[in-house]
Structures are given as structure tokens and as C-alpha cells.
Structure 1
Amino acid sequence: MKFINRDTSWLGFNERVLLEAGSKDVPLIERLKFLSIFSSNLDEFSRVRIPSINAEKKALKKEGGVSIAQKVKETIEAQQNLYGATLAEILSLLKKEDVIILYKEEADKEITDVLNEYFFSKIASYLHVRYLDESSLFFPENHFLYLVGEAKDRNEIAVVNIPSEYINRFLVVQKNGKTYFAFIDDILRMNLGKIWIGKGIEKAYSIKVSRNAELFLEDEEEGNLLKKVSTQITKRDTGLAARLLYDAEMPASILNKIKQVFGLENAMLVEGGRYHNLKDLNKIAVGNKSLYYPKAPVIDYKIKQSFLFDELRKKDVLLHLPFHKYDTVLRFFNEASLDPFVTEINMTVYRLSHTSQIAETLISAAGNGKKVTVFVELKARFDEANNIVWAEKMRDAGVKIIYSIPNKKVHAKVVLVKRKTEKKTQLFGILGTGNFNELTALFYTDHIYMTSQKSLLNDLDKLFKVLKKKQKQISEVDFTPSSLLIAPFNLKQRFYELIDREIAHAKSGRYAYIRVKFNNLEDKQIIKKLYEASNAGVRIDLMVRAICCLNPGVKGQSELITVCRVVDRYLEHGRIFYFENGGDSEVFLGSSDWMTRNIDRRVEVCFPVLDKRYKKELTDILDIYFNDGVKATGIKKDQVFKPGKNTGQAQVEMFKYLAV
């Protein structure tokens, strides 16, 4: 098989997350959080990929007689079974710590009165009760939870919402030194006779409908994109049903009626457990610190000069998040806002925090007389609404806001500051691998490069000029960067050239080596180029966190290619590209994965690390990751990942390395 299917690869990554929830060396509450992440990832997969899979399944070729749609369904069902077993184990261990999550069991009599009182005092305020027959129409809202029952004497389906979008999913009760967490789902089940009065329904089953999350922006080049995105966001929750997740114990008679009454004939039907939306497990919180990861040390970047900009005139600054404090990034923006010689601040925004200090600083900078221009990507999936809110707030404060380029997403993570004195104009910039988001910076591993190097920033200045013009066909713009790798202008071509150079070294008998760490590898053209390199004698080591369509270790195709992934305490997000180049190695960082969407349909920025000290540092970091013998695994079930000499845990070793 030349390529691995992207959807089964995505599910493979999510299974690795699930396996981390089962890891004995992870504290119990943190294991619950991995279960939460698994559930959240699966929900996103259902909303983003299953509609496409369902639409294409008739046209898809068979793989061993099984369609991709069937294979995906079987994989999800197997993972759900493993999920249930893992959760049961964690709950049993938590009970020994006097943390009792009531799961498929009756509440102790000593807290039953508390639960029933909570039903009337709180939950009942948000209940919407419906009775439906075959002629009724009912629209289950996207990702909302419902209980359904069958009133057989009247041939009706009884429906009530589980109001977790209004109140906490769990009621916490402290009793006799124990902490109880009761699902509000079960409090409803305890009170069915008070909800479906006189219906004689004694049992209820949970369901959830996931709807298509894609935004359909026809004729994107015309009209007001802001208005179109805003309209589509409101429609997202009323889109076509992609998946019905239902309690496996539900009788077939109820399931068949639900399909008809809810209009779910074309949705993928997936058996689940008693509870859905178990991403809510991340809301479980207790006071016992031993049930959490120990507090991680965070490294201060020591600035030797009075001002960060003075430091950047003398040398570059490279931060590795979350191992370094984010304060240095915030300081960059704050200095730019206050410095009387700073005249311009230009920035791209893909995902901001809901409480973004950076956005507030940009507002202050505009108030301080700076010319502030922010390019806001309106099509950042699931962050569209937050981006619109911040964009409008910044615009009202005097920040110039530029919204999305038609048919392109701007995914670059860059900032450019212009500082003018009587003698000259100086440029300062940030080029990064992750979003300018103070919250995700606490648990995403990323790299932030601050510099005043003209060769990089002159290219960045030209890019912002292109973005400000907002051409409809940006890929046709006459712009060839001299130092940066910018999609869609030269990024793909430059990576091809770098791979071809390694091929030439290998054919000349020199050692040739490529080592890359990123999130996704899906573009078939680049994969074929890597296969070509492997067959030419280039050794290739890849660390791909999530989707990987490259099939490693195949004779005559990819014998010299290894692929692994790391799933640990922090979400691996940083992108590092290393090319041996006959001993004169080159190292790049950037925002782009090797996916078709990144290199052909987005504006991305990757950049060479020119400082020799930081090139060495990033090479060492790659060594640390590719030598992980604890959390690094192969991407295929039959693949055993063999680390190098060091069998440490990469994220732990990172602190040790950077703290020196």
C-alpha cells in the first residue's frame, strides 16, 4: 500500500491518545483528561470528516473488500469499547482515593436526597419535554444531549434534554470524607416519573447528534465575507446530521423510530455507552494533588538589556513553549505599544485566546498612536466567532482590520514591528510555529523566534504589503521571497529543492539525512518525493503527531523512512525541519505542515534559523525527541519504534536541557 488513508490515520492518532489514558505512569485525573481529549477529538472527526466519508463512500474504492466508511465505523466502535474498559479501570482506582464518580450505578442512599433536591431546585428549570409520534418533526440540536424513552401504549417517543450546556455536567457532593460526582444524566434517570408524568416509562436511553461543521462559502470572492462567515456560523448547528451516537442498550424499535422522527436516515449510526459528551470529564476536579501531574517548572528567559528590542539588535531570541514562560512574548508586544519610536505593528491572527492580553495590547498601541494592522482569519475552524468578536473590538479601537483572503486561509504566525528614529528605520519581528494565544501556550509545545535580521524581515514586510492589497488570486502575485519559505509562493518549491539536494548528496556517496517534526503529513506529491529520496539512499526520520499518509518501512518504497509520534503531557505542535546538506546542515521552523491544504491553499511562513547557536539547539532538541523511549511510538500497530541511545522522556528531558 503506497499511502495510509488519512481518516484511519487520524483515528490512529486518537487511539494513541486513548492509550495514554490507560498508561499507569499518568496520574488518575490526568488520565481522565486524556479520555476527555479522545472524546473531543472524536466529536471533531464526526463533524468534519464523517460527512465527507458518507458522501464519498459509494465512489471510494474497496480496501480488502471493506469500504473506508465501514472501516472507520468498525475502528470507532472498537475504540469505544477500549474507552469503556479504560474508564472503568480509572473509576475503580479513583474510588480507592475516595473520589467516587457515579457511573452506571445507583447513588448511595446517604446522597440520594441531595440529588433529588438538586433535580427540583436546579435541573428542572432547563428541561424541555416532548412527545413524538411517527408524524412529528423534531430537530435535535448539534451536540446536545437527550434522553429518549418509549411510551408503548401510545406509540410515542418521549424526549427530554440533558441540560449540560446550561449547568455543570456533574453535581459534586462531599459526604463522610468522600467526594461524589453524579452525572446530571443519572439525576434525570432517577426522576423519570416526575419528567414523563403518567407515561409509565421506567427506562431512558441517551443520544447525541453531530452535525456537519464545514462552512459552505460559495462565491467566496464576492460580497462581504464577514457577513457570510457570521451567517454560516449560525447555520453550523442546523447542518445535516453526520452521526447519531446512541446507547447500545437501546431497543431496535426505539432506534428505528428515532431515525424517522429525527430525520437521520443518512447519518452514520454509532453504538455508544450510557453517557455521551465525555469530554466533560475534564471538569472533574479534586483537591488531592497526587492525582495530577506535579507542577512543572517554567524557565525564565533572561533578558540582559534594559529593553527586549535592545537585546534583539544584538542577537535573536528563541523560546520553546511551554518550557519557557510566555512573558517574553507579551513583553515584545508591550514594548512595541509603549516605545515612542515604534510607528507600525503588523500581525496575523489565526486563533486568539478568549481573554487575549495580546489583543488588548494592540488596542492600547492604537490608542498610543501606532499604526496597527491585524490580519484576522475568519475561517479558523471553531474559532470563527471568537475571531469576529476580537476583530470588531480592535477595529472599534482604531486597529486596521483586514479580513481573510478569498479562497485562502492565512495560517502564518508572524508579527512585524517598524521602529523609526532620525537615523534609520529598524524592523523587529516574531516568526512562530503556533498561535499567539496565551492559554494554549501553557500546554502546546511550540517555538517562537524573535529577530531583527533584515533578510528575514524584509521578506516579511513584503508579505504584509501583499496581504494588505488582498488580491483575489494571491498565488498569481509576483513575489519571490529571498529568505523565507512562504506558501503559496515558494514554500513547496523550496522544500522540493531541499529534498532534491539530499538526493544529490546520496547519489554522490555523501551521507544524506532528513529529519522533520510536525503535526500532519498528507500531501501525496511530497510523500512521493520522500519515497524517491529513500530509494536514492537518503535516511529520513519523521515525527508526525497526528495524520500521516506516508507508509514507512516498505521494501522498494520507503525502507529508509521511520515515522513515530509522541503523545504526552503537552500537545506536540512545534514544526522543525532539518536537512543534513553534506555536513553544512540547515534548520527551519514554521507554521506549515506537509498537507495539501497548508502548502497549496493557505498562506504559511517557514523560515531558516540563521543563528548557529540556535541551529545547534534545535538539532539537540530533535535528538531529544527522536531518542524518546517512553512516549514515542510507531504510527502503525505492527511497527515497533526503536529509539536511539537515550531512552528518556522527551518532554521531561526538554526542561533539563533548557534549564542548563
Structure 2
Amino acid sequence: MAQFRYFNRDISWLTFNGRVLQEAANEVVPLMERIRFLSIYSSNLDEFYRVRMPYLKKKSIQDQDEDAYSKAGEIIDRQQNAFGQILRESVIPELANLGVNFCYKDGVPGSILGAVNQYFFAQVAGFLQPVFLTKNAPFFPENNQLYLVAILRFPPDEEHVALVNIPTGNLNRFLKITRDKQDHIVFLEDIIKHNLKSLFPEAIEIQSFNIKITRDAELDMMDEDGDDVAEKFEKQLNKRELGYATRLLYEPGLPLRHLQNIIVSLDLKSASVVQGGRYHNLKDLASLPVSPPAQTYPAWPPATAGANVNENTSLFDTITSEDLMVHAPYQSYDTILRFFNEAAINPLVEEVYTTMYRVAHDSKIAFALISAAKNGKKVTVLVELKARFDEANNIRWAKKMKSAGVKIVHSVNALKVHAKLALVKRKHAAAPYLGLLATGNLNEGTAKFYTDHILLSAHQPMLAEAETLFRFLSKKKKPDSSDLIAFQHLLVAQFNLLGKFLQLLDREIANVRNGLPAGITIKLNNLEEEVLINKLYEASNAGVKINLIVRSICRIVPGVAGQSENITVKRIVDRFLEHGRIFIFHNNGQPEVFMGSADWMNRNIYRRIEVCFPIYNPKLKERLTEIIELQWQDNVQAVFIDSELNNVAIAKSQPLIRSQEAIYRLLSQETADLKTI
């Protein structure tokens, strides 16, 4: 692959999911966490088939990139084989050593058959709705729903095929039964298989196989606007599960003639037909009913953020005196909740603005915004409708906030507001603006396992720019050449973000060419956009040392002579999902540090509203740089991405540094030190 200037974005993402699978195989990782990584891998792959495989197949049909589609299929096949091997040869035997018989290969053991049958008739049978498969059968298989294909032979020698739903939306996927001090865990589909004779009593022979159909998740976006845009969008959401089929996954052994019959009868001719394992939807492994404490990660109670935050001091007063940063999930998210709660009740607060991209299911932030509105404050919330797979929840909260008096603003079609901002405006205050600027969503749920960084600041010029941006976005129009907002502090996509990053990169290039020290360290979730990649190549060729930490999509090809020999890329996968975006420019020994919401992807640079921002406080800048340096030194959970797009293990040397653990210890020690002052 090294002869290419850019890696394929989808193939690079698959190598990230392969890295997740490596953690499932890592015997140093506690057993239940390894099972969780198997679940994450499976969930990721389902989304890939819903979102990216339709695109790759379309490109393949158009003869634009046939190789990427076939290559993706080959990689997925290898990974799926590895998945099954990890489960069969490692995870299941280790469960057995703990006294747990996970009935993965052999179905229902005879010793618990009576209890299983009792459960079937008492709990399961009423949810089953078998449908005989005929050419004109009025049946539409649901997205990612599990079905049993029952091949039935009736006397004298008639053969029929029926589909039986597996009601995982109504019942737990797994049933645990304890006998003689041993736990047996069986799949819901195996319980149904053992009782198919009760569904088809006249059949003299029954064979059964599991299938699953995945459907395209793309929505037909509207160009419409107005007060009812959310209702119109909600109608489109209801059509998502009716999208065309992208994959038919079937159990080995399903006879070819019946497979073809299924494809024709269910109109699956355009779907990828993939032979999987016996069981599908193994993202459900996350709910496996076994949790021995010794087989999970040790608890890391979140530390307190900030030296002066306590129950006797207003958080607003603390922020007014000095910037504060919260490093989630290592530090408590309560500080962020407190920001919104104080805004809701503080009598000096007149206005509250915030963006909400993925709203927590039971959002305390949204409740605080509702209270603020009911307490007479002017509250404006930009709720993003097009946050994929969170649209329905976002619409639900938007309606609830709107009914309480919150002004709800939805972004216009084809433009997402992905920025992570909140702004409080106070009357009669020396510092009227207080702000929150973050790398991740204002979501207390994901804050428990996403690593993000949240700046709380009273920097008045920067926050005045945030107010200008909120007022512009409230107009619900796309930026164009007439929108000449002169941002001096904020880096805003569609305005100055791309140009500013290019200037910062050019400065490092100029410095190294003038014999001055130079360097670039960047941490991203995804790196795709070619203008910025080309500038990084230019910097590498000029002699600038470039360190990149890229979690998933990475199109830059490192370590290629004459192109990128000064570029090194690492990827970190551990107990928390790496999510922060951080940019450090050496600047001849006077480092400039930025954080923000923007990955370097086409969509973030050209089709979204993103906000990055400088870190001015010297102590916060130093601490953030220290955290990134620990991540760069990671030789336990980090891997190199090489010029062939492989995840390459880093040679273990002393000291062993697992960056997430080191960061947790660093921030916990900081809290302990502050308590002694």
C-alpha cells in the first residue's frame, strides 16, 4: 500500500475495528472486558454495513473503486473468523473455568431442558409469529432482527419454509439457569429451536438456521425549513428501518436452494450475502448474564476537577478568577452539570446558549435548561437533528425543551452543527460571559467512558465570539462569502478553521527551514481531508517531526521516503474510548495548544459547524501537554500504524506506560495534593 498517497478511509476504519478485536484476544485484559470488546466489534461492524458498505458497493457498481469493496469483504471475513476463534478457543473455556457453561456450540444441555421448555411456554411462545415463505408473502424482515429459517417436511413429502422471529426486543437474548452449582447460559434462538415442534406439530422433519438482514441507514434529507422541520424529519426517521437490504447474514449449512429462495422471496438481490457463524447480533454479548468482579477492570473513581471547586464556592466565581479544565472520565462530570445548574438558578444570568449534538437519554443538562427557561432566562439550544442513530432521542428532548419555553434551533439541511459549546451571559458582572468549550458532546452518559476535555472559561473576547456564532447559527443559514465574521480566537469551520490550521502548519515549516526548532503533535479521532494531509506531507519533507495519535480512520501514509518519513502515527485502544481532539504546535519553543470538536475529515472541514479554540492558561496548557505526552509514550495499549496500514505492536521496554492508567494516576494525585494544601 505504501505506493499510495492516501489510505482508503473505509479500509483504515476496518483496521481500527481489527484493533478492537485484538483487545478481545488480549489475555491480559479481564475476561468480561474481553467479552465487551467482542460486543463493541460486532456493534461497530453492524453500523459499518448500514452506513459504509452501501457506499462501497455503489462505487464498485460504478467501477470507481471495485477494489475497496472486495478488499473490505476480505478483511471482514478474516476478522469474523478471528472473532469466532477467540470466542470458541479462549473466552468460552475461561467461562467454563469460572463455572459458567456458555452453550455456544451445543445448544441446550439435557440437564436443563425441562426448565428451558417451561420458560419457552411461560415467557416466549406468545411473542412468536411464524410466516410461511412464499413468492408473494406479505412479509418485510426488520433491520438487524434475528429470524429462524425453519425448513419443514410434511407428509407425504411436502417441503415448506417458514421464518420465525426471535423476539430479542421483548425478551433477554440469554437465559441463565443454575444446576448443581453450575450456571448454564443459553441463547433465546436455541430455546425456540428446541420447541419448533410446538409451532409446527404436523411437520415430520424440521431443520432450522439463523439469519439476519441489515438495512441501509441513509435518510432522504429534506431541504425544507420551518417550525415543523422536526416533525418532517421524524417521518423520515420512521422510514430508516425500511431501507434497502445491505447484507443477508446466514448460518452455515443452510441449503443453497433455500438460500436462493430467501433472496428472491424477500427481495434481497442487491444485498451482500455473507455466511457467518451460528449466531448473529453478538453485540448482545455485552448483556451476558455473568459478571464476576475479578473479571472486570478495577474501579477508577473519578477525581475532583480543579483546585478551587468546592461546595462552599460558586463555580461561576471560580471560573471568573481562573480558567478550569475537566478531563473526563478521569475527573468528575459533576463540574459540568454544576455549570448548567448554576445557570438555571443564578439570578444574574439572563441568557443561556448551548449546542446539543447527542443528548443523554435522561439528560440532567436538558432538565437544567428547562428550569432556566421556566426561571425566566432566555435559553437558546441548537439541537442537531442529524446525529446519526440519536435522531429520535434528540427530537424527543427538543420537543420537551420547546414546550418549556426554550428556543430550539435546528441546523439547515446538509449542514450539521457539531461544535461543543455553551455560553452564559450575566447582568451586572465584571465578566458578563462565562463559557464552556469542549472536545466531546455535552452528555453525562458518554462522559463515563469517552475521554474528552472541557474548558470552562471567562475569557471575554473569545466568548464574545461564541455569542456572535450563536446569533449567526440562530439565523439558520449556511455560511457564504458574505458572512465575514472576523474570529480572532475561535477557529470555526466554514469561516476560518481550515485557513488557520494551514497557517499554523506553514509556520512550523518556515521555522524548520530557518533553522529554528519545530514540531507538530496532533490527536484526532479521524484523519481524512487531503488538503491538510498534503500540508503535513509538506511539513515532513521540510524536516518537521510530526507525531499523530489517530484512533480510527487514518488516510495519511506514514514513514514513506520522500513523502512522510518524519511522520509517526499511533493508535490507542483501551478501557475508555479515545475521543479528544488536541493540536500542539511547537512555535519555536512557545507552544500553541488548541482543542475542539473538529476531526480532520471532509465533513468536519467543509460541511459542518465545528469549533476549535486556544488554551491560554499556562497551567492548563502544561497539564494538557503532559497528558498528550503520556499518550505518546504509551507502550502497552498503543500501536504504530505502519506504511502498510498494519497495527504494529510497540516493543515493550521499561518503564511500561499504559497511558490511560498513567493519566488517571496523574489527575488523582493532583486532587490528593490539593486536599493537603
TM-score, normalised with respect to structure 2: 0.94
Q: 1:223 Cα deviation (Å)?
A: 8.7
Bigger mean CA offset, 78-87 vs 146-155? 146-155
Q: Which amino acid aligns with 1:631?
A: Q
C-alpha separation in 2, matches of 1:474 and 1:432: 26
Out of 168, 180, 200, the residue aligned to residue 176 of structure 1 is 180
Q: Which amino acid aligns with 1:332?
A: F
Give the 3-state SS of the residue equivalent to 1:431 in structure 2. strand
Is residue 2:36 matched to residue 1:33? yes
Alpha carbons of structure 1 residues 184 and 416: separation in structure 2 relative to 1, 3 Å? same
Q: 1:174 Cα deviation (Å)?
A: 2.3
Give the 3-state SS of the residue equivalent to 1:122 in structure 2. helix
Q: 1:475 Cα deviation (Å)?
A: 6.6
Contact 1:428 1:452 in 2 (8 A): yes
Residue of structure 1 in register with 2:597 after alignment: 591
Which consecutive unaligned segments of at least 5 residues does structure 2 have? 670-677
The superposition leaves residues 265-296 of structure 1 with CA deviations (integer Å, 9 ceiling, x where unpaired) of: 11111111111111111111435211111111
Residue of structure 1 in register with 2:400 after alignment: 393
Q: Which amino acid aligns with 1:56?
A: K
Residue of structure 1 in register with 2:134 after alignment: 133
Q: Which amino acid aligns with 1:276?
A: H
Q: Which amino acid aligns with 1:514?
A: I
Residue of structure 1 in register with 2:24 after alignment: 21
Contact 1:485 1:605 in 2 (8 A): yes
The superposition leaves residues 356-411 of structure 1 with CA deviations (integer Å, 9 ceiling, x where unpaired) of: 11111111111111111111000000000000000000111111111122321000
Which consecutive unaligned segments of at least 5 residues does structure 1 have? none
Out of 659, 670, 675, the residue aligned to residue 650 of structure 1 is 659
Which residues in structure 2 correspond to 1:76-155 (within 5 Å)?
Answer: 76-88=76-88, 89-151=90-152, 153-155=157-159
Out of 5, 17, 23, the residue aligned to residue 8 of structure 2 is 5
Q: 1:176 Cα deviation (Å)?
A: 2.1
Q: 1:222 Cα deviation (Å)?
A: 7.9
Contact 1:336 1:345 in 2 (8 A): yes
C-alpha separation in 2, matches of 1:47 and 1:541: 33
Contact 1:627 1:646 in 2 (8 A): no
Q: Which amino acid aligns with 2:498?
A: K
Which residues in structure 2 correspond to 1:180-191 (within 5 Å)?
Answer: 180-191=184-195
CA RMSD across the alignment: 1.7
Q: 1:554 Cα deviation (Å)?
A: 1.0
Q: Which amino acid aligns with 1:205?
A: F
Residue of structure 2 in register with 1:214 after alignment: 218
Is residue 2:224 matched to residue 1:229? no
Contact 2:222 2:233 in 1 (8 A): no
Alpha carbons of structure 1 residues 414 and 392: separation in structure 2 relative to 1, 3 Å? same
Alpha carbons of structure 1 residues 561 and 642: separation in structure 2 relative to 1, 3 Å? farther
Give the 3-state SS of the residue equivalent to 2:610 in structure 1. strand
Contact 1:521 1:547 in 2 (8 A): yes
Out of 437, 450, 455, the residue aligned to residue 449 of structure 1 is 455
C-alpha separation in 1, matches of 2:538 and 2:232: 43
Out of 295, 298, 322, the residue aligned to residue 329 of structure 2 is 322
Contact 1:137 1:261 in 2 (8 A): no
Is residue 2:507 matched to residue 1:501? yes
Aligned residues: 656
C-alpha separation in 1, matches of 2:597 and 2:647: 31
The superposition leaves residues 66-125 of structure 1 with CA deviations (integer Å, 9 ceiling, x where unpaired) of: 721111111111111000011111011011101222112143333111111111111111
Which residues in structure 2 correspond to 1:34-73 (within 5 Å)?
Answer: 34-61=37-64, 67-73=67-73
C-alpha separation in 2, matches of 1:581 and 1:201: 76
Q: Which amino acid aligns with 1:281?
A: L
C-alpha separation in 1, matches of 2:205 and 2:44: 34
Residue of structure 1 in register with 2:316 after alignment: 309
Q: Which amino acid aligns with 1:124?
A: A
Q: 1:138 Cα deviation (Å)?
A: 2.9
Give the 3-state SS of the residue equivalent to 1:447 in structure 2. strand
Residue of structure 2 in register with 1:344 after alignment: 351
Contact 2:216 2:243 in 1 (8 A): yes
Residue of structure 2 in register with 1:75 after alignment: 75
Give the 3-state SS of the residue equivalent to 2:588 in structure 1. helix
Contact 2:42 2:281 in 1 (8 A): yes
Alpha carbons of structure 1 residues 100 and 396: separation in structure 2 relative to 1, 3 Å? same
Alpha carbons of structure 1 residues 238 and 476: separation in structure 2 relative to 1, 3 Å? farther
Q: 1:54 Cα deviation (Å)?
A: 1.2
Q: Which amino acid aligns with 1:629?
A: N
Contact 2:540 2:564 in 1 (8 A): yes
C-alpha separation in 1, matches of 2:523 and 2:573: 13
Q: 1:441 Cα deviation (Å)?
A: 0.6
Residue of structure 2 in register with 1:555 after alignment: 561
C-alpha separation in 1, matches of 2:146 and 2:647: 38
Is residue 2:375 matched to residue 1:374? no
Give the 3-state SS of the residue equivalent to 1:385 in structure 2. helix
C-alpha separation in 2, matches of 1:434 and 1:141: 32
Give the 3-state SS of the residue equivalent to 1:581 in structure 2. coil
Contact 1:29 1:284 in 2 (8 A): no
Q: Which amino acid aligns with 1:630?
A: V
